[in-house]
Structure 1
Amino acid sequence: MRIGSAPGPEVFERLARAAFTRIPPPFSDHLADIVIRIEEFADEETLEAVGIDDAWHLSGLYHGRPLDEQSVWSSGDMPPVITLYRQPLLAEWSETGVDLEALVTHVVVHEVGHHFGLSDDDMHAIENGA
């Protein structure tokens, strides 16, 4: 998608769902319960919890129990959620010129990595090795 008018939340949700379809098995077999949310910005509580001072610096967040920490004894948990923050993504899209679909896919794949228990350092190492 090229830079033009700012796409709405429904476009971001569609792009995020499309990103899920490109994740191969066996990983894709563990994504059915993840909820996708689109918000304009992270709230203050979220920013504080992840140690970020500026809402413009958070484009996505995974919230839930990673698969490697789940157990049959963990009942009553809410489903895992990937939240995409629309305004920071729009800013990055505008500033970098990266295709919006590629940008959303990158953020979704990163947050899916957290679902599988990978840390930011783990994912940076994987990206640098690719």
Structure 2
Amino acid sequence: MADHRLSGLSAPTLSDIEELAAEAFRGLPDDFRALCGEVIISVTDFPTEEVQNEMDAGPFDLLGLFQGIGLAHDAAIPETGRMPNMVFLYRRAILDYWAEHEETLGAVVTHVLVHEIGHHFGLSDDDMYGIEDRTP
């Protein structure tokens, strides 16, 4: 017999992941979040074909991606016409990962967000895990 408690469930939407990402960002340590400046967080289902080709990756291979110039490599005077730094979170790959692991969806989104923003600052994996440990 089917479990009727599950019959109304659906996969989290782009908006749901955006809300989790916003909540995760607000929960990051103040000093880390303050350094993020104008980084834009965007949630899409999949990376573009161009990104997949550049990264030699399939649509489910990337959970997220930082695009832009990290602070360590940024010029003292910003270039005109340069696109803003962005973190992309890829919903379908995140959901696929979540379905196969024991972590909560919020924990997965937080991990991907911290990891991709960490690239913005040139942080090591240990540094990023330390930030995650400080995130509620």
TM-score (norm 1): 0.83
Tell me what 2:68 maps to: 64
Q: What's the counterpart of residue 118 of structure 2? A: 113
Aligned to 2:3: none
Identity %: 34
Gaps of 5+ in 1: none
2:60 aligns to what SS in structure 1? helix
Contact 2:114–2:128 (Cα < 8 Å) also in 1: no
Give the distance between the partners of 1:68 and 1:41, measured in 2 at CA.
28
Q: What corresponds to 1:40 in structure 2?
A: 45
CA distance in structure 1 between the partners assigned to 2:22 and 2:106 by the alignment: 11
Select which of 32, 37, 42 maps to 1:27: 32
Work out the CA distance in 2 between the residues paired with 1:32 and 1:45.
27
Structure 2 stretches lacking a partner, 5+ long: 1-5
Q: Choose the corresponding residue for 2:59, options 52, 55, 58.
A: 55
Per-residue CA deviation, residues 3-31 of structure 1 (Å, 9 max, x unaligned), is: 95211111111111111112213221122
* Among candidates 116, 122, 125, match of residue 123 of structure 1: 125
C-alpha separation in 2, matches of 1:125 and 1:109: 10
Match of 2:20 among 15, 19, 32: 15
Per-residue CA deviations over 1:69-111 (Å, capped at 9, x if unaligned) read 1123222222111111111111111111420000000000000
Structure 1 residue 126: Cα displacement: 5.8
The count of aligned residue pairs is 123
Cα distance in 2 for partners of 1:29, 1:6 equals 32
Q: For residue 13 of structure 2, what is the amino acid of its counterpart?
A: G
User: Where do 4+ consecutive residues of structure 1 move more than 6 Å?
Assistant: none
The RMSD of aligned alpha carbons is 2.2
Distance between the aligned counterparts of 1:6 and 1:75, measured in 2?
A: 41
Matched AA of 1:105: T
Larger of the two Rg values belongs to structure:
2
CA–CA distance in structure 1, aligned partners of residues 128 and 115 of structure 2: 11
Specify whether residues 7 and 126 from structure 1 end up closer, same or farther in structure 2 by C-alpha distance, changes over 3 A only: closer
Question: Aligned equivalents of 1:106 and 1:126: distance in 2?
Answer: 9
| DSSP-derived class of the 1:56 partner | coil
